[in-house]
Amino acid sequence: MELITQGFPVFLLIFCRITSFFVVAPVFSSKGVPNTFKIGIAFFISILIYLTYGINQTVVQDMTYVLLIVSEVMVGLLLGFVAYLLITVIQTAGSFIDIQIGFGMANVLDPMTGVSVPMLGNFKYMIAMLLFLSMNGHLQLIDAITQSYEWVPISNDFFSKIYNGNISEFLIRTFSQSFVLAFQMAAPLVVALFLTDIGLGFLARSAPQFNIFVIGIPVKIFLGLAMLLLIVPSFSYIFSSLFEIMFESLHNLLGIIGSQPK
């Protein structure tokens, strides 16, 4: 009974961080993943982490324990949110392309998130998820949340990091970086369609008898799909670089909210 009374509070803290991470992490937070599976895998991973890092730890069971629960939940949510934020770069890039190509009004339902997303953004997102799973990205996410206990133990000063503004500064930089990456991914098609608009504008001035509104939309759709067909083979390289940036951002975040293990 003494072992249970000392070990269960530590296990509950670990379970809170793992569960909150799976709530927002890419792939695991998908609507297609049953909630029972999320809770089950979080439970078994929590047992493994407890046997590895928490078997000799004890926590004081008073009002500070509530603060520890809040801290663990926020750490898990923060790690999952940063990973999810960089994954949404793909859909943001698709939105830029859809606006230029003329598909901005034609949204489709994304079964992964349950919300309406742009057509090309959903297409690129599905390819990215397939590459992410083929590269064992989901296992690397599990490894990241597991290794977080070496950087950010249960007894941490997470609230002081929030007070100092380090986490807020990191989130702002990551948010701005996600927009830059999204624009870089969409730049080839956006620039090509922008030049097409310029060409159609010159055509409208030099040959007013052409109805630009009639021929312009099919031309932009055809050119956009042709450009998309040309850059599809480079998706594996682009998404691989994006995944590297995502895991590097998680590493930097752990360095901000914790300390590098010796």
The DSSP string of 123-150 is HHHHHHHHHHHHTTHHHHHHHHHHHHHH
Which burial class, exposed, middle or buried, applies to 41 when counting CB atoms under 10 A from its CB (0-12, 13-18, 19+)?
A: middle
Strand partners for 116: 109
Output the pLDDT for position 179: 87
Tokens of 123: 């297409």
Q: Which of 159, 149, 145, 162 is nearest to 19 (CA)?
A: 145
CA dihedral sign of residues 75, 159, 256, 146: negative
Cα separation, 6 vs 59, in Å, equals 8
- 157 or 13: which carries more pLDDT confidence? 13
User: Cβ–Cβ contacts within 10 Å for residue 62, how many?
Assistant: 8
- Tell whether the model's pLDDT for residue 3 goes beyond 70: no
Lowest pLDDT segment from 21-25, 83-87, 101-105, 142-146: 101-105
Q: Which of 47, 250, 244 is nearest to 258 (CA)?
A: 250
Task: Indicate the pTM of the whole model.
Answer: 0.84
Output the pLDDT for position 192: 86
Output the pLDDT for position 105: 66
Tokens of 41: 């895998």
Give the confidence band of 19 by pLDDT, cuts at 50, 70, 90.
very high
56: enclosing H helix or E strand: none
DSSP code of 152? S
Instruction: Residue count of the chain, please give it.
Output: 262
Give the confidence band of 107 by pLDDT, cuts at 50, 70, 90.
low
For range 72-93, the mean pLDDT: 88
Q: How far is CA 239 from the centre of its chain?
A: 12
List helix spans (H) across the chain: 2-24, 35-49, 64-87, 89-101, 119-134, 137-151, 158-164, 166-206, 212-231, 235-257
